């Protein structure tokens, strides 16, 4: 065998090796990308569950003729805003906008629940009691779905950012995904006021 033949075999071997590694890495990046999308769908499913529960309690509260309409309107508006936001998980700004809308909805709903305490007739309805029992479980499911999403994003981002995956990710245009972040200020303990007289 002459040197030209050996060189040709080495070049063919390198091309086959890189092609095989490239195909394997591309497939793992696609798998990771789909896992992130699936995980985000699970987050959205839990938020939809919460929205459906909120819709049920809003209908129950609307039936109470003397209930404070301004508080109820605030929740209805926040719900409408939260359901209008669409998320592109490749765009961190849209994820942040979604988080803000969900935070506003949760805040408005918390105020609604505080006001509802002043209405004993409302608190005794079966639909309202059912809602109170279900919302805690739903909030736990939302939190679990967000934690799972972040774990999936972490695995994907590691494959995109580490060598040699970063080379193939750049070549095939796979980019880092955004994490679901805590609401601003949630790192501080809320003030507790016991103003009992």
pLDDT tens profile 128-142: 777 877 888 898 999
Across 106-115, 163-172, 184-193, least confident range = 184-193
DSSP secondary structure, the chain, as one string: --HHHHHHHHHHHHHHHHHHHHHHHHHHHHHHHHHHHHHHHHHHHHHHHHHHHHHHHHHHHHTSTTS-HHHHHHHHHHHHHHHH----TT-HHHHHHHHHHHHHHHHHHHHHHHHHTT-HHHHTSHHHHHHHHHHHHHHHHHHHHHHHHHHHHHHHHHHHHSTTHHHHHHHTT--PPPPPPPPTTTTSPPP------
Sequence-ordered list of residues with C-beta below 8 angstroms from that of 94, at least 6 positions apart, any chain: 85, 86, 87, 88
Question: Could you tell me the pTM of the whole model?
Answer: 0.75
pLDDT tens profile 97-148: 998 898 888 888 888 887 777 777 666 666 777 787 788 889 899 999 999 9
pLDDT tens profile 52-66: 888 877 877 776 655
Higher pLDDT, 39 or 53: 39
pLDDT tens profile 2-17: 887 888 777 877 776 6
């Amino acid at each position: 065998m002459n040197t030209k033949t050996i060189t040709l075999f080495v070049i063919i071997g390198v091309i086959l090796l890189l092609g095989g590694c490239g195909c394997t890495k591309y497939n793992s990046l696609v798998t990771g990308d789909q896992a992130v999308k699936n995980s985000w769908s699970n987050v959205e499913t839990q938020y939809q569950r919460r929205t459906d529960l909120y819709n049920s309690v809003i209908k129950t509260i609307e039936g109470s003729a003397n209930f404070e309409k301004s508080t109820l309107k605030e929740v209805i508006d926040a719900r409408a805003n939260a359901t209008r936001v669409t998320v592109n998980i490749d765009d961190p700004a849209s994820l942040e906008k979604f988080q803000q809308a969900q935070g506003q909805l949760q805040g408005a709903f918390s105020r609604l629940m505080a006001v509802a305490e002043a209405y004993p007739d409302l608190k005794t309805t079966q639909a309202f009691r059912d809602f109170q029992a279900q919302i805690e479980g739903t909030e736990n499911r939302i939190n679990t779905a967000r934690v799972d999403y972040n774990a999936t994003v972490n695995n994907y981002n590691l494959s995109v950012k580490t060598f040699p995956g970063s080379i193939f990710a750049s070549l095939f245009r796979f980019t880092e995904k955004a994490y679901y972040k805590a609401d601003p200020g949630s790192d501080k303990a809320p003030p507790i006021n016991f103003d009992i007289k």
